[in-house]
Structure 1
Amino acid sequence: MSDLGVKVPGRKSSKMGKGDPKKPRGKMSSYAFFVQTCREEHKKKHPDASVNFSEFSKKCSERWKTMSSKEKGKFEDMAKADKLRYEKEMKNYVPPKGETKKKFKDPNAPKRPPSAFFLFCSEFRPKIKGEHPGLSIGDVAKKLGEMWNNTAADDKQPYEKKAAKLKEKYEKDIAAYRAKGKVDAGKKVVAKAEKSKKKKEEEEDEDEDEEDEEDEEEEEEEDEDDDDDE
């Protein structure tokens, strides 16, 4: 493989940082294997050199685009093998007991409004990804954070005003949603009570019918006794 001319310090995998340490490592893409290979090669050639990760990623991305299908084949095979490894390990993986289940989210509930920073990110993320196609999600977020911190207060105002309006709308929507939820819950309680009342009345009617039948049987027996006496 040709030398990219840059080197980055070894990075620890982010897959095992959180959650169960015994959980299988996530599967890697063919491009991820390519970048990993480049990193290892440059570490051997330039053990003391250091460079910005975004520069390294950009050069990796440019090199990847110019590679032939045959050259990429090696990494695609590695990705396929890793996918099989991951699927096999996940079949045998047993999550630890006591894991909390995800809280049910009503799809009809109003969505939380984005913050001013989130609105800023939504606008500039495509630009960052276009200029640095090789950047990871984490590095894109880091770059956006730096941009936001360096943005003047006056330039932040449009995002803050928009976020404030969206928050105001959300508070109205969520209040109406919760009020509707209480009404619906009340209707369910009433419906349940009516159903219970109806069931009770039906049971009482059945008991009355049984009593009537018993009375009729007793009357018939008395009539038979009278006939016998005669």
Structure 2
Amino acid sequence: MAIDALLFDKDGTLFDFAQTWGAFGRMSLDLLTAGDTEQASRLGKAIGFDYAQDRYEPDSVVIAGTVDEVAEALHPHLNGISVSQIVDTLNEAAAGIHQYQAVPLAPFLQSLRGLGLKLGVATNDAESSALQHLASVGVQDHFDFVAGYDSGHGYKPEPGQMLAFARHVNVDPSRVAMVGDSRHDLLAGRAAGMVTIGVLTGMAPADQLEPLADVVLQDIGHIPAWLATK
């Protein structure tokens, strides 16, 4: 089956997860604790983040969860701060972090568009943050569709974002490939009836992705060669 469209996860797929989101973990906890490193370290444990090492546990809610889910995990450990205030702080931190591209995105995406492919992004981050991150590296306009967890289509591992993209670009889901670094991404793609491509620029190892992926690649830069075999 030919592929006519590619739908990308953002964090861990377009952008290298460890390099980008280690800074987010530290920045958000510093903001929430006014720089109290002992409290920040305790908070980090609630979301599977090692504050001292800037490193996430493989099951951290930050890896595939929404901002709301991260805020809910932090809320019991923060007195006098509402969930909505925590969400605002997390979004502030997310907006300010430098994005480490998994590959040079502008030429990569231009080459895909040159093949006539429709392109989209589906993330469990907020839509506004996603747009800002894409714009920060000059690639927002390369995408036909960008959806966050708050865009009205639901969020992964449910298939709502996937199906909304397919409708938006008028491509049958079976001719769309969902590209992601987590089981949430691949479960969503499978539920939508899409081809699934796993990449290793996130936190999940290949053996976790392989059961749900049609192919696992080192990074998105290997997609054109794989497409050439279809």
- Answer 1 or 2: which has greater helix percent: 1
Query: Bigger radius of gyration, 1 or 2?
Result: 1
- Answer 1 or 2: which has greater strand percent: 2
What TM bracket, shorter-length normalisation? under 0.3
Structure 1 length-normalised TM: 0.21
Structure 2 length-normalised TM: 0.21
